[in-house]
Structure 1
């Protein structure tokens, strides 16, 4: 399940402080398996029910970076969107995401440097009312001046 959100580009000339975009996605067993394959992170806390049951999480969890990837999707597809270059991202993982959880990934503009085309974004992911990840991204936004 992935909400159909607008795709495209918001050029830096059209960005405003407080602008926000999001997507909602259910994290499935298949997502976790594919992420393990692509990343080569096969930690059994993600893949093995018996192993994970005996950890502090008391069950399997999604990779933190899989969840963080949803932030990347919002930035690359919606805000600012196509043509955006990621310059940096800080992340704090606050709670686990489990198979079957629906994650809401949100990105909000907090600062704009028009001279350098740099945009600072507050980033966070929620499962229900629980913030599972938060951070800040710095991106180089597309501009109509460089089309």
Structure 2
């Protein structure tokens, strides 16, 4: 399941404070397995049911950076979108994401530096009413002047 807003590019000239974009995605066992393969993070809390039952999470959880990757997807595909370059990202992980959870990932424009083409975005992910991740990103936005 994937639910998101239109993809593309919003150039710095068209970005406004308060703009927001989001996606909604179900995190599957396959997502977790593929992330473990690509990242080489094979911590058993993500992959082994028996092991994970004996942890503070009492069951398997998705990699935190898999969840953070959904923020990256919103930034790179929607706001600002194609051509955006990450400069900085802060993250605070607040609750686990489990296989089968539907994650809502949102970014919102909180500051714009037109001279430097920098956009600051408030970022968060939630599962239902539970915020699982909060952060802030600073990105270099695309511009029509450089097309």
TM-score by length of 2: 0.99
TM-score by length of 1: 0.99
Q: Report the counterpart of residue 136 of structure 1 in structure 2.
A: 136
What does the per-residue CA deviation read over 1:38-65, in whole Å, with 9 as the maximum and x for residues that have no partner?
Answer: 0000000000000000000000000000
Which secondary structure state, in structure 2, belongs to the residue aligned with residue 3 of structure 1? strand
Equivalent pairs counted in the alignment come to: 147
What does the per-residue CA deviation read over 1:73-98, in whole Å, with 9 as the maximum and x for residues that have no partner?
Answer: 00000000000000010000000000
Q: Report the counterpart of residue 8 of structure 2 in structure 1.
A: 8
Structure 1 stretches lacking a partner, 5+ long? none
Matching of residue 17 in structure 1 with residue 17 in structure 2: yes
Q: CA deviation at 1:3?
A: 1.2
Q: How many Å separate the matches in 2 of 1:96 and 1:77?
A: 25
Q: How many Å separate the matches in 1 of 2:71 and 2:143?
A: 21
Q: Note the 1:1-147 alignment, pairs <5 A.
A: 1-147=1-147
Q: How many Å separate the matches in 2 of 1:7 and 1:125?
A: 19
Does structure 1 retain, via aligned residues, the 8 Å contact 2:9–2:77?
yes
Q: How many Å separate the matches in 1 of 2:131 and 2:60?
A: 18
Q: How many Å separate the matches in 1 of 2:100 and 2:64?
A: 15
Q: How many Å separate the matches in 2 of 1:5 and 1:92?
A: 25
CA RMSD between the two structures: 0.5
Q: CA deviation at 1:5?
A: 2.4
Structure 2 stretches lacking a partner, 5+ long? none
Q: CA deviation at 1:68?
A: 0.2
Cα distance change, pair 91–4 in 1 and its aligned pair in 2 (3 A): closer
